Amino acid sequence: MAVNTSFNKTFTIGNDLTVNRMGFGAMRITGEGIWGPPKDKGEAIRVLQRTVELGINFIDTADSYGPNVSEELIAEALYPYPKDLVIATKGGLTRTGPNVWPINADPDYLQRALEGSLERLKQDRIDLYQLHRVDPQVPYEKTLEFLQRVQEEGLVKHIGLSEVTIDQIKKAQEYFKVVSVQNKYSVDFRTKWEEELQYCEAQDMAFIPWNPINAGNVGAIDKLTKIGKKYDASAHQIALSWLLHHSPNILLIPGTSKVKHLEENYKTASITLSEEDLQELNNIRQSEK
């Protein structure tokens, strides 16, 4: 892919939802292990409120974050929502304990999950509803038929997928328009999904990398830190900035439970990397994990 030393600050999802490419992931406003309520609820509420104050208008969450806790906090902190705020949520993972994520994309389960998300978020329709995982125990067509139906019923406006291959995206497109793909992706973990990213860019689909800074364990940290010194930025900020430069359809959703960290992440959008530094970042050795 070509090196881009400038980038657009916004992206339009599904031709009608224009959002700032620096978004917010609401997974970490929950308890340890993404289980239960946050240790400091007041700070979690402040994080969400500060998010919209900064001009961030894309929040990514899921019914499984808590479970339920993230969606409940979003509504408590922000409802009634700003008119331009897009809240994307997901269904397809269940929870049995901290850091445990069984898959369930059975239509009956997804129906209950979607109804719960609508109630907790106090919405009549989800702007972007994403299948959290393809379930190997459920025929993919059955899951896709469910998503097609709830879109036709007006319960969801747009549909996205997570952790999917190009073939799985194409299969879903037989049932509905796929407007976003959310796969694990970062400056040091991109080989596995680079073709999917390029496919999404060609199809004008949003690509939403989860774990965009490899959970703080970014490869070649010395290289990122060295480049960061040129911009008065941290290694994590440089890793995020690389994503904004790398492809125009990438939406960032870094998560945090602290206002200070949120503000640091937001500053990433104002960093413009040089061609030399981008080339150096492109050559970072890839992680297998």
The pLDDT of residue 5:
72
Give the pLDDT score at 222. 83
Nearest to 94 by CA among 30, 159, 35: 35
| Residues labelled as active-site residues | 65
Number of domains in the chain: 1
Asked if residue 3 belongs to a domain, the reply is no
Assigned domain for 289 exists: no
How many angstroms from the chain centroid is the CA of residue 121? Answer: 17
Residue range(s) defining the domain that contains residue 133? 10-282
Report yes or no on 4 lying in a domain. no
185 within some domain: yes
Q: How far apart are CA 269 and CA 237, in angstroms?
A: 9
Task: Establish if 2 belongs to a structural domain.
Answer: no
| HEC profile of the chain | CCCCCCCCCEEEECCCEEEECECEECCCCCCCCCECCCCCHHHHHHHHHHHHHCCCCEEECCCCCECCHHHHHHHHHHCCCCCCCEEEEEECECCCECCECCECCCHHHHHHHHHHHHHHHCCCCEEEEEECCCCCCCCHHHHHHHHHHHHHCCCEEEEEEECCCHHHHHHHCCCCCEEEEECECECCECCCCHHHHHHHHHCCCEECCECCCHHHCCCCHHHHHHHHHHCCCCHHHHHHHHHHHHCCCECECCECCCHHHHHHHHHHHHCCCCHHHHHHHHCCCCCCC
Closest CA to 91 of 76, 72, 106: 106
pLDDT value for 220: 72
Query: What's the pTM?
Result: 0.95
Instruction: For 7-58, write each residue's pLDDT tens digit.
Output: 999 999 999 999 999 999 999 999 999 999 999 999 999 999 999 999 999 9
pLDDT digits (tens, 9 = 90+) for 78-133: 999 999 999 999 999 999 999 999 999 999 999 999 999 999 999 999 999 999 99
pLDDT at 2 > cutoff 80: no
- Does 134 map to a domain? yes
- H or E stretch at 46: helix 41-53
Give the model confidence (pLDDT) of 168-212 as tens digits.
999 999 999 999 999 999 998 888 999 999 999 999 999 999 988
Has residue 287 been placed in a domain? no
Confidence at residue 213, expressed as pLDDT on a 0 to 100 scale: 75
Tokens 């993404």 correspond to: 34
Residue 110 pLDDT: 98
Q: What is the CATH number of the domain that holds 170?
A: 3.20.20.100
Q: Is residue 14 part of a domain?
A: yes
Which tokens in the block code for residue 83?
A: 């008119």
Q: What confidence score (pLDDT) does residue 183 get?
A: 97
Average pLDDT, the chain: 95
Once rounded to an integer, what is the mean pLDDT over residues 229-246? 95
Query: Is the confidence at residue 216, as pLDDT, over 70?
Result: no
pLDDT of 272 higher than 70:
yes
Can you tell me the mean pLDDT for 256-265?
A: 97
Question: pLDDT of 55-72, one tens digit each?
Answer: 999 999 999 999 999 999
